[in-house]
Chain A
Amino acid sequence: MADTGFVRRGHITFITALRDIVVSLLPVSQLPAQWIKILYGRDVTFVFLTHPRDEKDIFCTFPLLAVLHRVIPSKWILGFLSIFPCFVAAKVVSPQGLNGFFISTPLLPSTLFQNRDKTLKNAKKIVQFIRKITTQRVYVGLAAWWPIVTNSGVAFERYLEKDDRVVVTNGHSATLASIVLSVEKICQIAALPIRDLKLLIIGVGKMGGAVAQHFFGRTSAMGLVDQNEKRLDRVAEDLRQKTASTKIEKIPVSDTGFSGAILPALVDYHIAVCTTSNVGYVIKDEALLKNCVILDDARPEAFPRIVDADRGVIVLEGGLIKVAGIQIDSDFGFGNSDNIFGCLAEAFLMNLDGLRTLKPTLGEVDAENFQKLLSVCKQNKITCGDFKAGWQLVNDDMIKKVIQSKMQLAAEKTNNIS
C-alpha cells in the first residue's frame, strides 16, 4: 500500500542552491549562453514551476537543510530561504530531445495563499530568473497552487512583455485532458458505457467546473460536491441550462462534516474525481474508504493512495499524462519516468507544438484550445497517465473488478428497494 506522505527526492545541493542564489542576484537580464551551459548544463525550453507542499518536501528536496534542521528551528530556515526567489529542483529530458527544469519557489502553500504581496514579488523574480537562465522561447507550466494564487496564471501577465519569449500557461487544459482521458479509460476498462456512468466531482471550482461541463450530457448522473453552497448552486444551475438528461445531485459539505457527506457518495458513484484545493477536505483515515474509485487531482492530496481489492478501494494519482520516454531526475511520488502532471505536461506540449496550434491557458479553459490539445496529444502519442496509487501500478483487472463490484452493489441495492 502506498503512503500519501510519499517522499519527494530532489537534487538541490549546496552548490546548486548557491548558484541559483548568485544568478538571481546578478544584475543582468540574461546570462551569456556559455555561462548557462557551464552553470546549468543545458538551455531549457520548458519549465515546470512548482512549490513545496510542506516543510517535509523542503528537507527532502534540499538534504543539506535537513541536516541543519537538527540544530536550527525550521522557522529560521524557512524565513532565510524565502529571501530567495526560486531553485532549480530537477531536470527533465524528453525523447524528442527537449530539455526542461522543475523550478521551485521556497514558499509554502500557506504563504503563497495568505501573503499576496510576497507571492507576486516572488512570481516576478521567478520570471526574471527564468529569463536569465534561458536564451530561447521557454514555456512555463504552473503547478499545484500557483494557478490558484495568480488568478489562474493571469497575474503573470503583469511581468511579461508583449510577445515575450517566456510563455506562461496555467496547465488547466492538459489537466482537464488528463482527467477526461482517465475517466474514459476507466469506463472502457470496466466495460461501462459513459452514458451509464455516475460521476462524482469533489470541488466544483475552476477545474471541477470544467470537468462537469465536459461530462454533463454524456453521463447518466453527476454528483457535485463543494463546501460553497452558492457556488454549488451556480454550477448546477449553469449545467441545467443545457438540455441534457444527466441527473445532477448537489452535495454540500463542510470542513468538519466532510467524511459523513462524502463517504456514502463515494460508494454510490462509479468514479470520483477530486479537484479541490481545500485542505480541509482531507480524509486521512484510509479505513473509512470502501467500494470507491477515486482519481485524486487535489494538491495537497485529499485521499490516501490505496489499492485494496478486499474493500474495493482504488485511489489513483490524478492528473497524470503519459509521455513515453520522458525522464525526470527526481521522484514526485509516482516514479520518475513516463508520467508527468497534466499542468506541467501542458508546457511540454506547447514546447512540442511551438505555438503553431496551441495557445497558453490563462484564466479558464478554452473549449477550442482544449480540443486542439487533445489532437496534439494524439499526434504525439501522448495519452492519459498510467494508473498509479503512489508508486504502485494499478492494473486494468483490478480497476475492472472494483468498478464491476460497485455496479453489482448498486444493482442489489436497486433490487432490494423494488
Chain B
Amino acid sequence: MKEFDNEQIFLKIRKALAKLLKISEGEISMEASLKDDLGIDSVDNLDLLFAIEDGFKLKISEEEAVQLRTVNDVVELIKKELLNG
C-alpha cells in the first residue's frame, strides 16, 4: 500500500476540491470549513466522496461521511482509512 502523509493527502484533496468547485487551489486551506468556507452542499458532498474513493481507492462509509466538517477532517479520515488498509 502506498503511504501518504497529511501534506500529500491535503495536496491531492485540494486539487480534487478545486476541480469540483472550480476555484483556485490557493483558496483551499486545511482549516477551511467545507460548508461555510467552500460552500459545499449535499450534492457537492456526494461528488467529493466519489472523488476521494476513486482518487485513493478506498471506501468511505455513510457514518464517516456525515462527520466531515473541514478539509482537515477529510485528510484525517483518508489517512485513517489508508492505515486501516
Most buried by B among A148, A231, A238: A231
A181 on the B face (CB < 8 A): no
Measured CA separation A148–B41 after assembly (Å): 12
The answer to whether B50 touches A154, judged by C-beta atoms less than 8 angstroms apart, is yes
Measured CA separation A130–B21 after assembly (Å): 33
A117-B62, A151-B50, A230-B38 given; A205·B43 CB < 8 A: yes
Within the complex, the shortest CB–CB distance from B2 to chain A, in Å, comes to 20
B80 on the A face (CB < 8 A): no
The answer to whether A234 touches B47, judged by C-beta atoms less than 8 angstroms apart, is no
Of all chain A residues, the one with the shortest Cβ separation from B38 is A230
Measured CA separation A231–B50 after assembly (Å): 20
B9 on the A face (CB < 8 A): no
B83 on the A face (CB < 8 A): no
The answer to whether B41 touches A116, judged by C-beta atoms less than 8 angstroms apart, is no
Residues on A with beta carbons closer than 8 Å to the beta carbon of B47: 151-152
Residues on B with beta carbons closer than 8 Å to the beta carbon of A152: 47
Residues on B with beta carbons closer than 8 Å to the beta carbon of A148: 43, 46
Within the complex, the shortest CB–CB distance from A117 to chain B, in Å, comes to 6
The one of A149, A228, A234 that contacts B22, using a Cβ cutoff of 8 Å:
A234
Q: Which of B27-85 contact A (CB under 8 A)?
A: 38-39, 41-43, 46-47, 49-51, 54, 61-62, 65
Task: Say what secondary structure dominates the interface of chain B.
Answer: helix
The answer to whether A155 touches B50, judged by C-beta atoms less than 8 angstroms apart, is yes
Of all chain A residues, the one with the shortest Cβ separation from B39 is A230
Measured CA separation A190–B82 after assembly (Å): 59
A215 on the B face (CB < 8 A): no
Residues on A with beta carbons closer than 8 Å to the beta carbon of B21: 234
Measured CA separation A205–B44 after assembly (Å): 9
The one of A116, A205, A228 that contacts B49, using a Cβ cutoff of 8 Å:
A116
Q: Which of A214-243 contact B (CB under 8 A)?
A: 228-231, 233-234, 238
Residues on A with beta carbons closer than 8 Å to the beta carbon of B54: 154
Residues on A with beta carbons closer than 8 Å to the beta carbon of B23: 234
Measured CA separation A228–B22 after assembly (Å): 14
Measured CA separation A177–B54 after assembly (Å): 30
Measured CA separation A231–B21 after assembly (Å): 8
The answer to whether B65 touches A231, judged by C-beta atoms less than 8 angstroms apart, is no
Of all chain A residues, the one with the shortest Cβ separation from B42 is A113
Measured CA separation A59–B51 after assembly (Å): 36
Measured CA separation A148–B42 after assembly (Å): 10
The answer to whether A231 touches B46, judged by C-beta atoms less than 8 angstroms apart, is no
Chain A residues within 8 Å of B, Cβ to Cβ: 113, 115-117, 148-149, 151-152, 154-155, 205, 228-231, 233-234, 238, 277
Q: What are some 12 contacts across the A-B interface (CB < 8 A)?
A: A113-B42, A113-B46, A116-B49, A151-B50, A151-B51, A154-B54, A228-B41, A230-B38, A231-B39, A231-B41, A234-B23, A277-B43
Besides the contacts A116-B62, A149-B46, A228-B41, what 4 more A-B pairs have beta carbons closer than 8 Å?
A152-B47, A229-B39, A234-B39, A238-B22
